[in-house]
A and B are shown apart, each in its own frame.
Chain A
Amino acid sequence: MSMMTRRNLLKTAALTTASGLLAACGSADPVATVPADGVPRGKISVWLHQTKAYDAVFTPLLRSYMQEFGGVDITPLYVPVDKLDAKLLTAFAGDVPPDLFRIGGWTIPGHARKGRLAPIIPKAMGVADEKALVQDYDEHAISSLSYEGRLYGVPTDYEICYLYYRKDRFAAAGLDPDKPPTTWEEVAEYSKRLTSADGKKVGLQWILGNPQWTLMQLLALVKGKGGTILSPDAGKATLATDAGVEALRYYGSLGNAKLSNPLSGFGLFATGEAAMLVSGLFAMDLFPSLNPKLTFGDVFDIAPMPRWDAGKPVAPAYTWGWAVAKQSKLPYTAWHFVDYLQRQDVAAKQLKDASILTPVKGWEKLPGADQKALDIMAAAAPYADFGPQTPVWNEMAKALTDAADAVAFGKKTPEQAAADFDQAMRMTL
């Protein structure tokens, strides 16, 4: 009797486990029906990360959309940006993802490979096909949201890196505040002059420990030297080359890894401990919020991303995007709502009120942002580089961060760190 009971117990455990796993893995095929009358209806959920400024733009849009399309009910859920990926993942695993969500473009290949995303429905976006939709956007930005030739998102919050610099620190060091460095060699030279004897004030400070920013910073250095982080087909790591090692050596030679600030390089730039930083458009509003004395154009300014002397220009870039879950029963409605959010007038309002640049066609002329910032971005746009497009982006960026941080903290030589990165990626790719 007791044997039977044990057996039954084990059987029950196995069955429950299996059913749990199946429930976690299974997914119903979405019915991507386009309504005959083309009118969206139904109740959809939207997950996005929130800033106060963006909320002020998004909430009225949501209301006006529901007013205009009475048959649609949208429930938004605001998730802190650093929790969004984990929440989405558990929602996918539990087979209860939101219909629509805002995600980092770099995560699209990973989600698409696992069949979690619904491709664009062109009709819902008011165009005949994907090709026509691509023409409505900055080509580089929207292309970064595709996987194996299919488009899975439309871009919002487009960023191309700038070199931020503190004019006050430049002036104090006897450098011309109106002549920021244009090459990485100059950045190193300026950094020497901007670094105090005790190392507490530095020239360029990298944003350490952050996978996304590590990738963008190193991308500029490695690719500018003619190297790559992964091979063009993203099947092999290629950091352990002359270009990769030289880039890491340069990375480790600037800044002070031990400088402490809860906001990393952003905080150090705001306090003036760092005189230069690589960052995106969003930081123009961020810095004055961290330190009210920082006025753009007066205390700090922006410049194009430096390039290596005689090297090719590289403009590290990223974009967030709107995507729709494959499990969504109402993908048409979801994409229709996205189209509403991506109009030119909305893009202008987002840029003006929330410093979020939606890269719709002609974004260079959108009113609302500082024209200098847009001009620099527009000049860099042809060289925009979104880094390796790989379904294992998170692992790749983490391994790269480990390598770069190890060099910055002097724990490994550039050669060792590059070799370790390549080895770690061999196991992953």
Chain B
Amino acid sequence: MSLRLVPPVAQVSGKGQRWAEARTGGLLALPAAVYFLVFWLVPFVAAVYLSFTSYDFAGTPEWTGLDNYRRMLGDPGFWNSARVTAAYTIGSVVPSIVLGLAIAVPLSKPGRYNAFLRGLVMIPAAMPLVATSMVWSVIFADKGLANALIGLVGVEPKPWLTDEGLALWALVIMTTWKHLGLFVIILTAGLQGLPLSVFEAAALDGAGPIRVFYRITLPLLRRTLLFVLVIAVVGAMQSFVPAFLLTKGGPAGATEVLPLYLWATGFGFERMGYASAIAMVLLVAMLALSLVQFRVLRGGEDG
């Protein structure tokens, strides 16, 4: 029996091959392109267009130029929601990352139970947000776990979800708990990818663990931190479900985050044009914040 070698690609000229490859590539990319077009580009273009119109789900959108954006400037509801969103974003992102880092550093080291602990810490992140919100509504109930725990240290029970000073922080606690696991896993992966030689050199030079953390670990981890920070900020600014399910934006507007206000404006008040304008402002704010984060944190390289 003899083997005859067949060339893997038919003999074609350089130009013809490029065409064939381009056509195949185009065909392979087509499903993704269609998906992108239908579910991203078209809604996005429609939202941009609607933001310059008055549209209440009836008739055709009426072009109003910048009216929706001008309206926003004098809308106390919008500014209240913007303040709430800012507080919620800072309140949930900072502890998530600080705690995430504090947990990731020991978990990234070789250890007998670390793999198991990493799996454990990921459980909340794997839970659906709606289910998480339901669980926390029970935890924050008058006779729930939260009040039982603070009762152990002699603190009076708190109306977590109906006190306008506490409700937002109750949501922050829940969100931090929910996202912490994901951040821990990402940061752990980043930490494990750092070059050991640098740490060995630092140890030989007699650097202590705190100095090593601030002078070596954090700078080297900058790219991973940037990624975590961007997804944490964007996630917090888009947060809708916890406020919708746990507090409905109350009490007295204390948890009315911008996505919730946007939803109420669009689907409660039927002002799709104005809701689209709010969405655009939110998008621009998120882009701007992301760019700032990139500018501040870029430059370093993990590993």
Contact = CB atoms under 8 A, between A and B. Distances in A.
Interface of A: 9, 12-14, 16-17, 20-22, 24-25, 85-86, 89-90, 92-93, 110, 114-116, 208-209, 257-262, 392, 394-395, 398-399, 402, 405-406, 408-409, 411, 420, 423-424, 427
A394 B56 contact: no
Given A13-B37, A89-B267, A89-B270, A209 B57 contact: no
Interface string B135-147: 0010001100000
B205 interface: no
Interface in B53-101: 56-61, 71, 74-77
Nearest to B157: A260
Given A89-B57, A395-B268, 11 more contacts: A14-B45, A16-B42, A17-B42, A20-B42, A114-B57, A114-B59, A259-B159, A398-B264, A402-B77, A405-B250, A411-B252
A341 to B, nearest CB: 28
B41 interface: yes
B269 interface: yes
Nearest to B50: A21
A25 B58 contact: yes
- For chain B, give the interface size range: 35 or more
Interface in B269-301: 269-270
Contact of B164 (A9, A20, A93, A411): A411
A258 B75 contact: no
Nearest to A110: B270
Contacts of A209: 248, 250-252
8 contacts: A22-B60, A90-B267, A110-B270, A114-B270, A208-B250, A257-B162, A392-B269, A402-B253
B161 interface: yes
Contacts of A259: 159, 162
A22 B75 CA distance: 30
A209 B159 CA distance: 15
Contacts of B58: 25, 92, 114-116
Given A110-B270, A427-B74, A13 B163 contact: no
Interface string B241-271: 0000000101111000000000010011110
A409 B76 contact: no
B138 to A, nearest CB: 10
B46 interface: yes
Contacts of B169: none
A17 B46 contact: yes
Contacts of B268: 85, 394-395, 398
B88 to A, nearest CB: 18
**Lowest 8 A-B CB distances belong to which pairs?**
A114-B58, A260-B159, A405-B252, A260-B162, A209-B250, A409-B252, A17-B46, A93-B57
A212 to B, nearest CB: 13
B74 A258 contact: no
A257 B252 CA distance: 10
B76 A424 contact: yes
B49 interface: yes
Nearest to B61: A21
Contact of B56 (A20, A22, A114): A114
Contacts of B56: 114
Given A405-B252, A424-B76, A25 B59 contact: yes
B164 A395 contact: no
Most buried by B among A9, A17, A115, A405: A17
A162 B75 CA distance: 36
Contacts of B49: 17
B87 to A, nearest CB: 15
Nearest to B272: A93
A257 B57 contact: no
Contacts of A16: 37-38, 42
Nearest to B141: A262
A20 B55 CA distance: 14
A257 B251 contact: yes
A153 to B, nearest CB: 18
A269 to B, nearest CB: 15
B142 A260 contact: yes
Interface in B162-210: 162-164
Contacts of B59: 25, 114-115
A405 B167 CA distance: 14
B56 to A, nearest CB: 6
Contacts of A394: 268-270
B221 to A, nearest CB: 39
Nearest to B44: A13
B165 to A, nearest CB: 9
Contacts of A17: 42, 45-46, 49
B270 A258 contact: no
A86 B252 contact: no
Contact of B252 (A24, A392, A408): A408
Given A20-B42, A398-B264, A424-B77, A258 B159 contact: yes
A290 to B, nearest CB: 15
Nearest to B156: A198
A372 B192 CA distance: 75
Most buried by B among A20, A25, A86: A25
B21 to A, nearest CB: 16
Interface string B89-117: 00000000000000000000000000000
A20 B251 contact: no
Contact of A409 (B75, B160, B164, B264): B164
Nearest to A423: B76
Contacts of A21: 46, 60-61
B253 A13 contact: no
A408 B61 CA distance: 39
A411 B141 CA distance: 24
B60 to A, nearest CB: 5
Contacts of A409: 164, 251-252
Contacts of A93: 57
Nearest to B253: A402
A406 B164 CA distance: 10
Contacts of A257: 162, 164, 251-252
A157 to B, nearest CB: 22
A263 B287 CA distance: 39
Most buried by A among B41, B61, B161: B41
Nearest to A17: B46
B298 to A, nearest CB: 29
Contacts of A420: 76
B268 to A, nearest CB: 5
